[in-house]
Amino acid sequence: MLELSKLEELLKIKFKNKKLLLQSITHKSFNSEINYEKLEFLGDRILGLTISKKLIELYPNAKVGILDKKLASLVNKNMCYQIGKLLKLDNFILIGNSNKKILKIEKKIISDCCESLIGAIFIERGFDFTKKFILNTWKIFLTKSDIIIVDAKTKLQEFSLKNFKTLPIYKVISSTGPKHKPNFKVGVKIQNSKFVYAIGPSKKSAEQTAANKLLKILNQL
């Protein structure tokens, strides 16, 4: 129980049900019957619900597509892994030493354990407490989520795939100027549209500008 008390100190949460906390950090390779899988399932849903509601509050004017991308960036396995590392969960997770394959998926285990811990906190303290824990733990990443920008090329690609099931067509028309200061003229079109052209200091820049122009013509901006 000494290790659990250290984890409780890091989490700043005192568990009445120590077995629940122990289960939340137990991988199936250590105990095939009592492990964190069901808690992870529960924690994943609570995390998604909490972050979804917070994003609507933070960005009331954002379109659903933008909110969806922000949510995906905040609740994916990589983010949960980062949070798990911040909470130092890897120092407490119980895994079977004999299974060498476990070592290869350490990131996934830490990520899963992060979600299972949320599930355990929910059972132990209820939704309001768990919501506060999540928002406090994710705070730094929530404030950074406003840098997530859906660029013009991505928007145009999504529009084209949704409406025509085909990708936009980009075409380099010309490349002029010296190597250290080139100018690219690029055209882009989708089904049922004409080519729209733009010029930029790089192919990528010109493509973004052209995509942006076409989106405006399509009334998608």
Could you read off the pLDDT of 193-208 as tens digits, one per residue?
999 999 998 898 899 9
List the catalytic residues.
Answer: 44, 115
pLDDT at residue 112, rounded to an integer: 95
- Which of 32, 23, 21 is CA-nearest to residue 98? 32
Q: How confident is the model at residue 171 (pLDDT cuts 50, 70, 90)?
A: very high
Mean pLDDT across 213-220: 90
Could you read off the pLDDT of 54-94 as tens digits, one per residue?
999 988 888 887 888 888 889 998 999 999 999 999 889 99
Tokens linked to 153: 């090329």
Domains of the chain, first to last: 2-147 (1.10.1520.10), 152-217 (3.30.160.20)
Distance of CA 101 to the CA centre of its chain: 25
Strands 169-176 and 196-200 turn out to be: unpaired
* pLDDT of residue 1 exceeding 80: no
Is the pTM value of this prediction over 0.75? Answer: no
Q: How confident is the model at residue 123 (pLDDT cuts 50, 70, 90)?
A: very high
DSSP 149-186: ---HHHHHHHHHHHHHSS--EEEEEEEES-TTS-EEEE
